[in-house]
A and B are shown apart, each in its own frame.
Chain A
Amino acid sequence: MASKAVIKVSDLRKNFAKTKAVQGISFSVAKGSITAFLGPNGAGKTTTLEMLEGLLKPSGGTIEVLGFNPVKKPDEVKRRIGIQLQTANYYQFLRLKELLVLFASFYNRKVDADKLLNIVGLADKKNAYVDQLSGGQKQRFSIVSTLVNDPQIIFLDEPTTGLDPQARRNLWEIIAEIKRQGKTIILTTHYMEEAQYLADKIFIIDKGKIVAQGTTKQLIAQLPNPYRIEITSAKKIKLEKLRALSGVISGTVATNTTGEYEYSLGTKNIHQTLPAVVKYLEKEKIAFEDIAVAPSNLEDVFLTLTGKELRD
């Protein structure tokens, strides 16, 4: 990799009393990039992050964050990073401005609270309590609170979970803006659109292991079925027949709210499969409402790699 690695992790492990949460993962993070850990709940994303942040002691492996070992020098690491925890809560009876000044003092720093709040569009809320904010505003505040010490790396643990689509997009813009300021960002998510939109590099993590890594394009290209043909029909079609068509690798069916059937066929060679599908439907005289061709997404990557849906 051309740019300098700010985080190096090798064979990282964490065992809790009952579970092996992280089972030997290795990776590095390039300076100024956005890295996303994508995986379902309980995959080990948060545990990995907390070990990097110096909040949790690893059971094995080595970590280097900005040249420091977070186990031996947790304060050196904490001083240089910003942390957003998954459940963001702050003291109830302090105003936003007061909270930022207080948190800055924990780093022995002075902070221009108004300027920071302005970045996330909360300047007019500076005298509000956290409890008076909406969900999206709370998340925005919790992100800006990671900036009080002008950190080099920012860790965001599921920053958009539970937000409506508009609030989520708004947050993506903020995260992208923070990246433009030259900061390295590591985030966890179980929204593939989020990883797809933001991340320079994605680690797909499942059961404590990295099962795939790369850019969105690379991950999809690795798939045996990088394209999908989607058919919507009022009439039922035999799925085995569709699967048997030339070039079809995978096939699923679901019913939508209007009672129509929605078929999704995965393929590698679209030139071969699409004519075969159309020909079959004509031959069987099946009227279809809609037929579409789309590239596969991370959801398909995840499904293929782990055999389960991302949002279980």
Chain B
Amino acid sequence: MKALWLLFTAILKMTVRNKPALFWMLAFPMIFLLVFGLFNMDKMTVGRVILLDQAQVEESKEIVKAFTEGETFEVIEGIEADDIQGAKQKIIDSEADFAIVIPEEFKNLVQSNANIKEQAAQAQAMMMRGVNYHPPAPVAEPETVSLELYYNEANATMNPVVINVIEQITTKINISIAQTPEIVKLDKQPVTDRRIRYIDFLIPGIVAMSLMQSAIVGIAVFLTEAREKKILKRILATPINRRSYIAAQVMARLAITLLQAIIILAAAYFIYDVKAYGSYWNLSLWALLGTTVFLMIGFIIASFSKTTSAAESLSQVVSIPMLFLSGVFFPTSSLPEWTQKIVDYLPLTPVIDAMRAIAIDGKGFNETLGEFWIVGGWILATFIIASFSFRTARE
């Protein structure tokens, strides 16, 4: 037990004392954070929107108002409500980021909804007067109306933010129209308060990326070096068992990556005022889950690498493709569909998705169960491979 603790603290000490490695462990994500943050903060995160309100009813004006009032969007004026072609041209010319069309049918939707409400009110009034009221056959369920959204697919950094916000607005509208129209007014408020900028989208990706890097490279290089220099052999010449040695490794690495995640989140908070809307406990839990998979991958790499440099390159071969494919910097939805299907099952993707769901959408852990099963599967698979390959590898 004491050996486990001493080994745990020894690994922490070594990590902190290895100044160049420590520098890169923190500098790498920080550089991304600073560079991407500076580039996109002011210009790109204000979405320029064209609103084509063809319905012109009170409710549609409320939606337009929601966009006009907030700071998240800059509304571009001067396009006729039925000039969809003109709006598209603006997007192509990069004078606007996207256009939303509220079609005329929206008027009918609101109207039919009002009828339902009136009938309900009548029924209630009659019941209060004690009249045995037989309601007329219910009016058909209000039909749905699609808001049309035009955007430039090349605008990869803007789109996830915009689509996210619009999805939130439309869900709220759908709910409110189907129930009581007044709620539209109340619900638009949180939408404008919660401005989602590119940096908010980026930070969970950077956290996941850095924990992947430090877990894979950390464990693979540390163990390969210990084997290459016969440090491992010297340790196994003592009665300490392999299991304690590995347990101490895993615990120390989990602590290190968690600390790293906290530092990045703190930097993001202080520099860019990035806050998570969900629970930080759930974010930490996901950081630990992600680290576990990557540690196992690190163990597998260590058991297949003869030299430290081989372990280093193999770690890069495994982590770099995930870094670019799994949506650290842009959403995976911009990838071709078939690639996306594969990428969704890479271990980094669900970790990033879950962290974003918690940080940006304020979701709970229960709502990230889909990602949890994928990552859980990876943990199980890599654990089995790691325990076999590490046992057979000669120290």
Q: How far is the CB of B357 from chain A (nearest CB, A)?
A: 38
What are the interface flags for A295-309 relative to B under an 8 Å C-beta threshold, 1 for contact and 0 otherwise? 000000000000000
Give A55 to B232 CA distance when docked, in angstroms: 12
Check B17 for interface membership: any CB of A closer than 8 A.
Answer: yes
Instruction: Indicate if B78 sits at the interface (CB-CB under 8 A).
Output: no
Task: Closest A residue to B229 by CB, please name it.
Answer: A89
Question: Are A105 and B6 also in contact (CB < 8 A) when A55-B237, A91-B14 are?
Answer: yes
A288 within 8 A of B: no
Decide if A107 touches B236 in the complex (CB within 8 Å).
no
A106 to B7, CA, bound (A): 9
Tell me whether B243 is interfacial, beta carbon within 8 Å.
no
Task: State which residues 213-248 of B face A: CB under 8 Å.
Answer: 226, 229-231, 233-240
**Is B18 interfacial (CB-CB < 8 Å)?**
yes
Report if A87-B229 is in contact (Cβ < 8 Å); known contacts: A78-B238, A79-B239, A106-B238.
yes
**Complex CA–CA separation, A102 to B238 (angstroms):** 11
With a 10 A CB-CB cut-off, give which of A79, A83, A106, A108 has the most chain B CB atoms.
A106
Inter-chain CA distance A199–B237, complex, in Å, is 24
Instruction: Tell me the complex Cα distance, A35–B224, Å.
Output: 34
B10 at interface, CB cutoff 8 A: yes
A191 within 8 A of B: no
Does A55 lie within 8 Å of B233, measured CB to CB? Answer: yes
Given contacts A85-B234, A89-B229, contact A102 B239 (CB under 8 A): no
Question: Is the C-beta of B134 less than 8 angstroms from some C-beta in chain A?
Answer: no
Does A75 have its Cβ within 8 Å of any Cβ on chain B? yes
Please classify the interface of chain A as helix (H, G, I), strand (E, B), loop, or mixed, using the class held by over half of its residues.
Answer: loop
Nearest A residue to B11 by beta-carbon distance?
A: A91
Chain A stretch 41-91: residues in CB contact (< 8 A) with chain B? 53, 55, 75, 78-79, 83, 85, 87-91
B228-285 contacts to A (CB < 8 Å): 229-231, 233-240
- State which of B229, B231, B235 has its C-beta within 8 Å of the C-beta of A106: B235
Q: Smallest Cβ distance from B256 to chain A, in angstroms? A: 14
Q: With A78-B237, A106-B239 as given contacts, are A98 and B13 in contact (CB-CB < 8 Å)?
A: yes
Count the A residues whose beta carbon is within 8 Å of the partner chain — how many?
Answer: 24
Whether B14 and A108, one on each chain, are in contact in the complex, defined by CB atoms closer than 8 angstroms, is no
CB-defined contacts of B7 to chain A, threshold 8 Å: 102, 105
B129 in the interface (beta carbon within 8 A): no
- Write out the residue numbers on chain B whose beta carbons fall within 8 Å of the beta carbon of A79: 239
Q: For residue B43, which residues in chain A have a CB less than 8 angstroms away from its CB?
A: none
Determine if B3 is an interface residue (Cβ-Cβ < 8 Å).
Answer: yes
Contact A78 B14 (CB under 8 A): no
Would you call B13 and A105 a contact (CB within 8 A)? no
Determine which of B13, B14, B231, B236 lies in contact with A89 in the assembled complex, contact meaning CB atoms within 8 Å.
Answer: B231
A87-B230, A91-B231 given; A78·B239 CB < 8 A: yes
A85 to B240, CA, bound (A): 17
> Does A221 sit at the interface, judged by CB under 8 A?
no
Q: Tell me, in angstroms, the Cα distance from A107 to B2 when the chains sit together.
A: 10
In the bound complex, do residue A94 and residue B10 qualify as a contact, i.e. CB atoms below 8 Å apart? yes
Determine whether the beta carbon of A75 is less than 8 Å from that of B239: yes
Chain B 1-41 interface mask (CB, 8 Å, partner A; 1/0): 01100110010011001100000000000000000000000
Please classify how large the interface on chain B is, using the bins under 10, 10 to 19, 20 to 34, 35 or more.
20 to 34
- Tell me if A27 is interfacial: C-beta within 8 Å of chain B: no
A172 within 8 A of partner (CB): no
A-chain residues with CB within 8 Å of residue B17 when the two chains form the complex: 93
Is A276 an interface residue, CB under 8 A from the partner? no
Measured in the bound complex, the distance between the Cα atoms of B233 and A90 in whole Å is: 10
Which residues of the other chain, B, contact A90 by a CB distance below 8 angstroms?
231, 234
Contact of B240 among A93, A94, A106 (CB under 8 A): A106
Per a CB cutoff under 8 Å, which of A85, A93, A105 touches B18?
Answer: A93
Asked if A101 is at the interface of the complex by the 8 Å CB criterion, the answer is: yes
Contact of A55 among B13, B236, B239 (CB under 8 A): B236
- Given the interface pairs A94-B13, A98-B13, the reply to whether A89 lies near B238 with Cβ below 8 Å is no
How far apart sit A293 and B388, CA to CA, in the bound complex (Å)? 64
- Residue among A55, A93, A107, A108 with the highest chain B CB neighbour number at 10 A: A93
Q: How far is the CA of A53 from the CA of B238 in the complex (A)?
A: 10
Contacting pair A103 B13 (CB below 8 A)? no
Q: Which residues of chain A are within 8 angstroms of B6 by Cβ–Cβ distance?
A: 101-102, 105
Residue in contact with B237 in the complex, picked from A85, A87, A93, A101, CB distance below 8 Å: A85
A98 proximity list for chain B (CB < 8 A): 10, 13
Say whether A3 faces chain B, with CB atoms less than 8 Å apart: no
Question: What separation, in Å, do the CA atoms of A75 and B231 have in the docked complex?
Answer: 18
The residue in chain A whose Cβ has the minimal distance to the Cβ of B235 is: A106
Q: Which residues of A contact B13 (CB under 8 A)?
A: 93-94, 98
Which residue of B has the minimal Cβ distance to A110?
A: B2
A101 and B13 alpha carbons, distance in the complex (Å): 14
A166 within 8 A of B: no
A12 to B313, CA, bound (A): 42
What's the minimum C-beta distance from A178 to chain B, rounded to whole angstroms? 18
Taking the closest CB of chain B, its distance from the CB of A23, in whole angstroms, is 23
Measured between beta carbons, the chain A residues less than 8 angstroms from B3 are 102, 105-106, 108
Residues of A within 8 A of B229 (CB): 87, 89
Residue of A at shortest CB range from B236? A55
Q: Are A53 and B237 in contact (CB under 8 A)?
A: yes
Residue A134 lies at the interface, judged by CB distance under 8 Å to chain B: no
**CB <8 Å contact, A89 and B239:** no
B19 to chain A, nearest CB (A): 9
The answer to whether A85 and B230 have CB atoms under 8 Å apart is yes
What CA separation (Å) do A106 and B236 show in the bound complex? 9
Query: Is A19's beta carbon under 8 Å from chain B?
Result: no
User: Cβ of A93: which chain B residues have Cβ within 8 Å of it?
Assistant: 13-14, 17-18
Closest CB-CB distance, B96 to chain A, in whole Å? 55
Asked if B231 and A107 sit within 8 Å, CB to CB, the answer is no
Interface residues of B, Cβ cutoff 8 Å to A: 2-3, 6-7, 10, 13-14, 17-18, 226, 229-231, 233-240
Please name the 7 residue pairs, one residue from A and one from B, whose CB atoms are nearest each other, closest first.
Answer: A106-B238, A89-B229, A93-B17, A106-B240, A93-B14, A105-B3, A83-B237
- Contact sample, A vs B, 21 pairs, CB 8 Å cutoff: A55-B236, A75-B239, A79-B239, A83-B234, A88-B234, A89-B229, A90-B234, A91-B14, A91-B226, A92-B18, A93-B13, A93-B17, A94-B10, A94-B13, A102-B10, A105-B2, A105-B3, A106-B238, A106-B239, A106-B240, A108-B3
Question: Known contacts A93-B18, A101-B6; can you find 6 more A-B pairs with CB under 8 A?
Answer: A78-B237, A78-B238, A92-B18, A93-B14, A102-B3, A149-B238
